[in-house]
């Protein structure tokens, strides 16, 4: 019995060691991210290098003017060079991501999920208008919902007339369960009056706060009571052609 217990503990320890060995380190994660971004933006490395060299030039110039030792200032320039390169990498990654999403079904929802703090984001559309029996969402009108301090934000994408009807219907539903809470309507796209995908997150985050965090929690509970897309679309169908996540449909 003791030998069996010891063997079990050794196996468990081995599995834990394997998991620890498989977990990539910080440098490996950055390398993997850079490789993925470079596939979308082949010039990202040159922009990172340019940013780092500009920082080096500025720091050496300051060191020469103030200290009279431009080469000594290289020591202080190294962390700033790395920071500048990472900022460029992050900026170019966002631009590449939005460029890849632009024009694809579910792009608005994917962009909204990049907002990580202070918002409740619906990972699945809260409403959809699909006008074909094959349930093809490539030309569907869909609405995504976000809840934050500015209130409820409804973002629609797809053919403009159908999107506007869906947005108005969802606005009425939200106003019924959360009266007095501001409801913002946004159409994501490249048409007149639309918000491009690359500017969607910035537009949402710049809305002025109107409710408190405590009120947000109350409103979120009320929004969960609203019927969603699962009442109109067969189970397992998702606008982004991914299997339906029922846990996400019930809300966070």
How is residue 218 written in tokens? Answer: 């109350």
Q: Which of 153, 169, 156, 120 shows the shortest CA–CA distance to 239?
A: 156
Q: Look at residue 233 in the predicted model and tell me its pLDDT.
A: 47
CA distances from 163 to 120, 131, 157, 168 (A): 22, 13, 6, 9
Question: pLDDT tens, 69-83?
Answer: 667 777 778 888 888
Residue 195 CA to chain centroid, in angstroms? 16
Residue 43 has pLDDT above 70, yes or no: yes
pTM, to two decimals: 0.61
Of 20-24, 94-98, 137-141, 218-222, which gets the smallest average pLDDT?
20-24
Q: Look at residue 240 in the predicted model and tell me its pLDDT.
A: 43
Q: Look at residue 100 in the predicted model and tell me its pLDDT.
A: 64
Question: pLDDT tens, 181-225?
Answer: 999 999 988 888 888 888 888 899 999 999 999 999 999 999 988
Q: Which of 210, 220, 127 shows the shortest CA–CA distance to 178?
A: 220
Q: Look at residue 101 in the predicted model and tell me its pLDDT.
A: 66
Question: pLDDT tens, 231-246?
Answer: 444 444 444 443 333 3
Q: Look at residue 108 in the predicted model and tell me its pLDDT.
A: 82
Q: What percent of the chain is helix, strand and coil (3-state, nearest 5)?
A: 55, 10, 35
Q: Give me the residues paired with residue 187 across strands.
A: 156
Reported confidence tier of residue 19, pLDDT bands at 50, 70, 90: very low
Residue 132 has pLDDT above 70, yes or no: no
């Amino acid at each position: 019995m003791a030998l069996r217990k010891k063997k079990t503990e050794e196996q468990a320890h081995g599995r834990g060691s394997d998991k620890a060995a498989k977990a990539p380190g910080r440098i490996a994660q950055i390398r993997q991210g850079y490789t993925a971004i470079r596939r979308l933006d082949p010039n990202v490395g040159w922009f990172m290098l340019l940013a780092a060299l500009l920082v080096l030039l500025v720091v050496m110039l300051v060191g020469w003017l103030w200290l009279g030792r431009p080469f000594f200032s290289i020591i202080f320039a190294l962390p700033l060079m790395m920071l500048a390169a990472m900022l460029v990498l992050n900026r170019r990654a966002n631009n590449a991501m939005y460029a890849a999403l632009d024009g694809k079904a579910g792009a608005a929802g994917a962009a909204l999920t990049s907002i990580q703090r202070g918002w409740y984001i619906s990972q699945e559309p809260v409403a959809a208008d699909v006008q074909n029996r094959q349930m093809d969402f490539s030309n569907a009108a869909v609405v995504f919902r976000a809840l934050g301090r500015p209130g409820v934000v409804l973002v629609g994408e797809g053919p403009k007339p159908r999107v506007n009807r869906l947005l108005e219907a969802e606005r009425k539903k939200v106003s019924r369960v959360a009266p007095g809470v501001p409801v913002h309507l946004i159409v994501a796209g490249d048409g007149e009056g639309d918000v491009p995908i690359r500017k969607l997150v910035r537009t949402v985050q710049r809305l002025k706060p109107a409710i408190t965090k405590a009120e947000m929690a109350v409103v979120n509970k009320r929004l969960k009571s609203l019927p969603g897309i699962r009442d109109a679309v067969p189970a397992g169908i998702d606008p982004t052609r991914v299997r339906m996540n029922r846990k996400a449909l019930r809300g966070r």
